[in-house]
Structure 1
C-alpha cells in the first residue's frame, strides 16, 4: 500500500511507515508546500495513494464530492508524533487494508479507531 503523508505531519512518518512495510512519501517530496488540499487529494487519487493527515479538510472534501478515492487516514490526537501514535496508526492501516484499497475514511484517536466506507451516503 502506498501512503502519502500530508504537510501537517512530520516527515519522520515516512521512515516509520516504510519500516512497517508500506511505500510512503511525504508531500514535501512530491509537490508544493503550499498546495491546496484538493491538489493533494487529486495527486493521491491519480497515483494510488492513501492520504495520512491530521487535517479534517480531507474528510470534508470526500463528503462534498461524494468521493470514492483516495482513502484517507486521519489522526485525531493532541500528539501526532509518530513515536507516540505511530503503531496505533500502523495497526489500523493493517487491520483495515481491504477497506482502504476499496475506499474508506479511517479516523484514529488514542481511544479508538473508526471506519467509514466511501462514498459517504447522500443526505436528503
Structure 2
C-alpha cells in the first residue's frame, strides 16, 4: 500500500529530505524499479507495503534502506511521532543499510543484508 503524499511536508518539517514516488516516477512502476531507483540515489524507501521488506530479505542486498510503517492507520496524524522517533533513533543504521519497522509502540531494526 502506498503512503500518502501528506508525509512529504511532515518529514521535511522535521529536517528530512522527502519526495513522493508519484512526483518522480511512474505510478505503475514495480517495487523492484522503486528499490533500484532508491538504491542508485542512496535514498530510504518509506513504505506501508510489506513487500519491500520481503524483497530485502530475499535479495540479501545492502541497499536501499527501508522504513516500514506497520499500523492500520498509516497517515501522519496517527504515526508522525513514532516515525520521526524511529528516524532519529536509527538514523545511522538507515544510512548504513537497514530495515526499520515502526508501529505505534516501538521500532525494530535489522541491519542489511538480511
Query: Does 1:24 find its partner at 2:6?
Result: no
Instruction: Deviation per CA, 1:43-100: give whole Å up to 9, x if none.
Output: 0000111010000110111111101100000000010011110121011011110000
Distance, in Å, in 2 between the alignment partners of 1:80 and 1:59 is 17
Count of matched residue positions in the alignment of Structure 1 and Structure 2: 114
Find the aligned partners of 1:117 and 1:54 in 2 and give their Cα distance: 19
Secondary structure class of the residue paired with 2:37: helix
Q: Which residue of 2 aligns with 1:4?
A: none
Q: Which runs of 4+ in 1 moved over 2 A?
A: none
Cα distance, 1:110 vs structure 2? 1.2
Correspondence for 1:63: 57
**What is the TM-score normalised by the length of structure 2?**
0.97
The residue number in structure 2 matching 1:53 is 47
Partner-residue secondary structure (3-state), 1:106: strand
Structure with greater strand share of residues: 1
Structure 1: distance between partners of 2:86 and 2:76: 14
Structure 1 distance, partners of 2:76, 2:28, is 23
**Is 1:35 aligned to residue 44 of structure 2?**
no
Q: Which runs of 5+ in 1 are unaligned?
A: 1-6
Q: Under a length normalisation based on structure 1, what TM-score does the superposition of the two structures give?
A: 0.89
Shift of residue 111 of structure 1? 2.1
1-structure distance, mates of 2:110, 2:103: 15
Alpha-carbon distance in 2 for matches of 1:83, 1:67 = 32
Q: 1:94 maps to what in 2?
A: 88
